Amino acid sequence: MTDWSLSVLLSGLHDEIQQKLATARKAFGHPGTKGDASESVWLEMLKTYLPQRYRATKGHVVDSIGAISNQIDVLIFDRQYSPFIFEFQGQIIIPAESVYAAFEAKQSINAGQVDYAQKKIASIRRLHRTSLPIPTAMGVLPAKPLHHIIGGLVTFESDWDPPLGQPLLDALSSQEESGRLDLGCVAAHGIFMCEVDGCHVAAPETKAATAFLFELIARLQTCATVPMIDIRAYAKWLAS
């Protein structure tokens, strides 16, 4: 018998994230610096605890038609099967086919931030994605249907009282399907999720960051692998 405790380990993970977010909020006066620090906390957690097939970064998304998204705070993308990721002067650009999930990271959640995140997520989901038939040793498999890109918002605090009450649920339901936020975390209070019927639920959690991480991994598992990208659709830009 050992003295290890899974409950203590999971609590420690959440406590570490919450403390870092609280420090970022208190230590930096400039809003931009404060925001960058908060984004880094969430990215560090995902880079540490997500399975290695996934990568997490701040960046842009591009499609084979040539459309490029605005910068997204947290992009979770495939690195095992993605043939190219562009990096220029510290800016990361990821093909739309490779994206599993996208999150905005803010200091506090409110109606304005929910609306902002919904519009950012919708802009990514509207990008064009290719999917080719998949050659295997057993023959050619049909092209993989495009998976749903998980979208969400992660924050430290909430501007509402109660933090996860009806105003939050009303804000989450105010956007059309393309901008739906599937999952989010308010580290100091709990998480929110969109369920299979399209309705949102909020769950107060004492270990919110850990609960968010586990739910995210479970949802990523349902995406399976990314579609087989049509490289030639991107290669046509070489002649432009």
pLDDT beyond 80 at 135: yes
pLDDT beyond 60 at 185: yes
Q: Which of 69, 129, 65, 132 is nearest to 97 (CA)?
A: 129
Q: What is the predicted pLDDT for the residue at 94?
A: 95
pLDDT beyond 80 at 1: no
pLDDT beyond 90 at 240: no
Q: What is the predicted pLDDT for the residue at 159?
A: 97
Q: Which of 209, 217, 239, 178 is nearest to 15 (CA)?
A: 209
3-state helix, strand, coil in the chain (%, to 5): 40, 25, 35
Q: Environment class of residue 178 by beta-carbon count within 10 Å: exposed (0-12), middle (13-18) or buried (19+)?
A: middle
Average pLDDT over every residue of 125-136:
95
> Is residue 109 very low, low, confident or very high in pLDDT (cuts 50, 70, 90)?
very high
Residue 207 is which amino acid?
K
DSSP assignment of 6-64 equals HHHHHHHHHHHHHHHHHHHHHH--SHHHHHHHHHHHHHHHHHHHS-TTEEEEEEEEE-T
Residue 173 to residues 8, 83, 119, 190, Cα–Cα distance (Å): 35, 36, 13, 18
- Give 30's contacts (C-beta < 8 A, 6+ positions apart): none
> Is residue 32 very low, low, confident or very high in pLDDT (cuts 50, 70, 90)?
low
Q: What is the predicted pLDDT for the residue at 35?
A: 66
Q: What is the predicted pLDDT for the residue at 113?
A: 96
Residue 71 to residues 95, 105, 124, 191, Cα–Cα distance (Å): 13, 12, 10, 24
Q: What is the predicted pLDDT for the residue at 31?
A: 61
Q: What is the predicted pLDDT for the residue at 147?
A: 95
Instruction: List the catalytic residues.
Output: 73, 104, 106
Residue 24 is which amino acid?
A
> Is residue 33 very low, low, confident or very high in pLDDT (cuts 50, 70, 90)?
low
Q: What is the predicted pLDDT for the residue at 34?
A: 67
Average pLDDT over every residue of 75-93:
87
Structure token digits, residue 234: 């991107």
pLDDT tens string 37-81: 889 999 999 999 999 999 999 999 999 999 999 899 999 999 888
Average pLDDT over every residue of 214-236:
94
pLDDT beyond 80 at 3: no
> Is residue 234 very low, low, confident or very high in pLDDT (cuts 50, 70, 90)?
very high
Distance CA 219, CA 45 (A): 17
Q: Greater confidence, 139 or 81? A: 139
Distance CA 240, CA 236 (A): 7
Least trusted range by pLDDT, from 29-38, 123-132, 150-159, 166-175: 29-38
Q: Across the chain, what does the average pLDDT equal?
A: 90
**Percent of the chain predicted with pLDDT > 90:** 69
pLDDT beyond 80 at 6: no
